[in-house]
Structure 1
Amino acid sequence: MPIDEATAGFLAAMAQAGPPVHELDAPTARAVTGALKPMYGEGPEPDSVEDVKLAVAGGTIELRVLRPLAPRGVLLYLHGGGWVIGSIDEYDTLGRILADQTGMTTVLVGYRKAPEHPYPTAVEDAWAALDWADRHRAELAAEDAPLVIAGDSAGGNLAAVCALRARDAGGPRIDAQVLVYPATRLDGDFPSYHEPENQLLLSAESMRWFLDHYIPVERRGERDASPGGAESLAGLPPAVVLTAEFDPLRDEGEEFAARLEAAGVPVQSRRFERQMHAFFQMVNILPGSAEGVDYLVESLDRLFPR
């Protein structure tokens, strides 16, 4: 079936609004995606909202802590945007929805962006945020509360990298990973990259633009860049993997889910039919977003019954 009608209408409007991201410079691309923020709405009001400045190597990053009443866990969320665009302000509405529906304190991570801060800066920022969330687990929820690391697209890449790092370092303890159409093989060339119907908001050309801003070709096979290329995925936390039918990253995300399952990791995965890359974060714009959030919440409820 073709892409859903809401997505087709959104893409038509975006095409009239201006050129695709790969024809822009990074600051202009950030401004274009930032202009969508008012369309997301305000989102539910959590019990408390706190912006935290976290010192990291070479600077500081911002964390936004969205705490529901009586949180049952911590959800550390790394936003998408190809390591170049996106912000915690743009993801604020999604974060509020996740905090409200999961019942978990949701921490949005404002990691630094390429090309000003190329690889591996985003990885190190994500790792620092994970360490902070683990050290503050008791304050964010409870001492023994589950800690879930999550992200979409580039954020899914960072979440998967951090899960591998935590396994190999013996901590922090991650209780689940949620990977939404993750980039798992930056050195890969999968069929879904080349399917004409997948050249939408994210295309093979725009993905090359993101990668060229983020990481040199010769480093794209490193484990902190391509977690899907890790020799073993055994011993990783349970995973929830969402992919989209019309997405250049579809095949690598589904390959990663299959490899996790083959390694004995509990996996819940679903391909969202008629959806494109980026559908998940487009709350109040694309109806598929609500379906994706529902799936995430239901999957976490199976892992951590209320």
Structure 2
Amino acid sequence: MSDLHPLLAELRETYRRTGRPQMSSGTPADGRALVASSRTFLGPGPADVAAVGVRIPTRDGAIAGRLLLPPGDREPAGVVVYLHGGGWVLGTLDDFDALGRHLAARSGCAVLLADYRLAPEHPFPAGLHDTEDTLRQVASGALAAQHPALAAGRPLVVAGDSAGGNLATVAAAAVCREVPLALQLLVYPVTDARMATRSYEVHAHDSFLTRADMVWFYRHYAPDGRWNDPRISPLQAAALGHLPPAWIAVAEHDVLHDEGIAYAERLAEAGVPVTVRRCEGVTHGCVRMMNILEPADRLVDAAAAAIRAACARKTSPSQETA
């Protein structure tokens, strides 16, 4: 195992010295405020990426979305529906605006950030239903009246990090027989609630995401009797061969590392084309650090390249090490 990147090691030490609370030590409101407080530190996305607010009809009403457009009035090469991380409990459009802007600028695609409903106010399967309905709305062209970039017929990618990666792949499994998906792009996805892997042992008390944090997230999302439902733990699904091609990134110093690798292996065994990117020296949450952390910047570059390739119908399976 490689050493933690110096910036992350310094940040971890700062957290310990200042007594920064873990997510699991407070309320959802506390956690949401903690995530929001990091926006200034992490920095903004490209200013030349235009943002358009949209409303996305769902089976339960409507949710907000933010459409981010590639700069220079370029015709988008495709549409990326992006589901933010945060354990199904935390995260807002503003928290992930910078990442979405970088992906739009670098991929040449329109990026739709979906403000899916959060637990515990809206427990499983509310956020999943919102994700499925968003994919159907985009694929059908039903949102085109709000912006022409959302017209039907563009290549469609579903993407997300952490719990957002979980929603992305579970929703893909639910809709991919009716909605053509060019790619599922998953960054350190949550795939297995058993929490019994070696990476859970090694990183159980890591400052960035602890085992206790994950238990806290799961408990807010669903009763523990449902955690092994494949719609929460997709690694436990009986069959995965119908899913679209996958690009999966895992962080080396992360409790979720091993289940991300295991999920990639299950997809490959089922015949799904899979690219795995192993990001060394970094932790959970690193993808939002592209402005301040070089490995994170490379990760976003690689993700954008995978999106471009998928939208050009040139995706091919491979494995690489960051």
Normalised-by-shorter TM-score class: over 0.9
Does the 8 A contact of 1:232 with 1:263 survive in 2? yes
2:14 corresponding residue in structure 1: 13
Does the 8 A contact of 1:65 with 1:107 survive in 2? yes
| More deviation, 220-229/193-202 | 193-202
| More deviation, 66-75/279-288 | 279-288
Q: CA deviation at 1:102?
A: 0.3
Which of residues 166, 175, 197 in structure 2 aligns to 1:166? 175
Does the 8 A contact of 1:166 with 1:174 survive in 2? no
2:320 corresponding residue in structure 1: none
- Counterparts of 1:216 and 1:263 in 2: how far apart (Å)? 30
TM-score (structure 1 length as normaliser)? 0.93
- Counterparts of 1:196 and 1:150 in 2: how far apart (Å)? 25
1:24 corresponding residue in structure 2: 26
1:110 corresponding residue in structure 2: 115
Asked if 1:149 is matched to 2:158, the reply is: yes
| Structure 1 residues without counterparts, runs of 5 or longer | none
Asked if 1:87 is matched to 2:92, the reply is: yes
2:42 corresponding residue in structure 1: 40
Q: CA deviation at 1:17?
A: 5.6
- Counterparts of 1:143 and 1:48 in 2: how far apart (Å)? 20
Local SS of the residue matching 1:222: coil
TM-score (structure 2 length as normaliser)? 0.89
- Counterparts of 1:235 and 1:124 in 2: how far apart (Å)? 19
Local SS of the residue matching 1:118: coil
Percent identity (aligned): 36
Amino acid of the structure 1 residue aligned with 2:28 = A
- Counterparts of 1:233 and 1:11 in 2: how far apart (Å)? 37
Indicate the RMSD between aligned Cα atoms, in angstroms.
1.9
Amino acid of the structure 2 residue aligned with 1:145 = R
- Counterparts of 1:160 and 1:127 in 2: how far apart (Å)? 10
| More deviation, 16-25/173-182 | 16-25
Does the 8 A contact of 2:157 with 2:181 survive in 1? yes
Local SS of the residue matching 1:280: helix
Asked if 1:263 is matched to 2:264, the reply is: no
Asked if 1:135 is matched to 2:140, the reply is: yes
| More deviation, 36-45/215-224 | 36-45
Does the 8 A contact of 1:79 with 1:86 survive in 2? yes
Asked if 1:274 is matched to 2:276, the reply is: no
Local SS of the residue matching 1:233: coil
- CA change 1:48–1:19 in 2 (3 A) is closer
Amino acid of the structure 2 residue aligned with 1:151 = G
Moved beyond 6 Å, runs of 4+:
none
- Counterparts of 1:76 and 1:128 in 2: how far apart (Å)? 11
Q: CA deviation at 1:46?
A: 4.5
Amino acid of the structure 2 residue aligned with 1:260 = L
Does the 8 A contact of 2:139 with 2:152 survive in 1? no
Local SS of the residue matching 1:244: strand
Does the 8 A contact of 2:49 with 2:105 survive in 1? no
Local SS of the residue matching 2:289: coil
Asked if 1:71 is matched to 2:76, the reply is: yes
Amino acid of the structure 2 residue aligned with 1:56 = T
Q: CA deviation at 1:76?
A: 0.6
* Count of matched residue pairs: 304
1:249 corresponding residue in structure 2: 256
Q: CA deviation at 1:277?
A: 0.7
Does the 8 A contact of 2:140 with 2:152 survive in 1? no
- CA change 1:76–1:13 in 2 (3 A) is same
Q: CA deviation at 1:205?
A: 1.0
- Counterparts of 1:162 and 1:141 in 2: how far apart (Å)? 19
Does the 8 A contact of 1:156 with 1:181 survive in 2? yes
Asked if 1:97 is matched to 2:102, the reply is: yes
- Counterparts of 1:265 and 1:46 in 2: how far apart (Å)? 36
Asked if 1:298 is matched to 2:300, the reply is: no
Asked if 1:193 is matched to 2:200, the reply is: yes
Local SS of the residue matching 1:281: helix
| Structure 2 residues without counterparts, runs of 5 or longer | 315-322
Amino acid of the structure 2 residue aligned with 1:22 = S
1:222 corresponding residue in structure 2: 229
Q: CA deviation at 1:224?
A: 1.4
- Counterparts of 2:203 and 2:87 in 1: how far apart (Å)? 21
Asked if 1:213 is matched to 2:217, the reply is: no
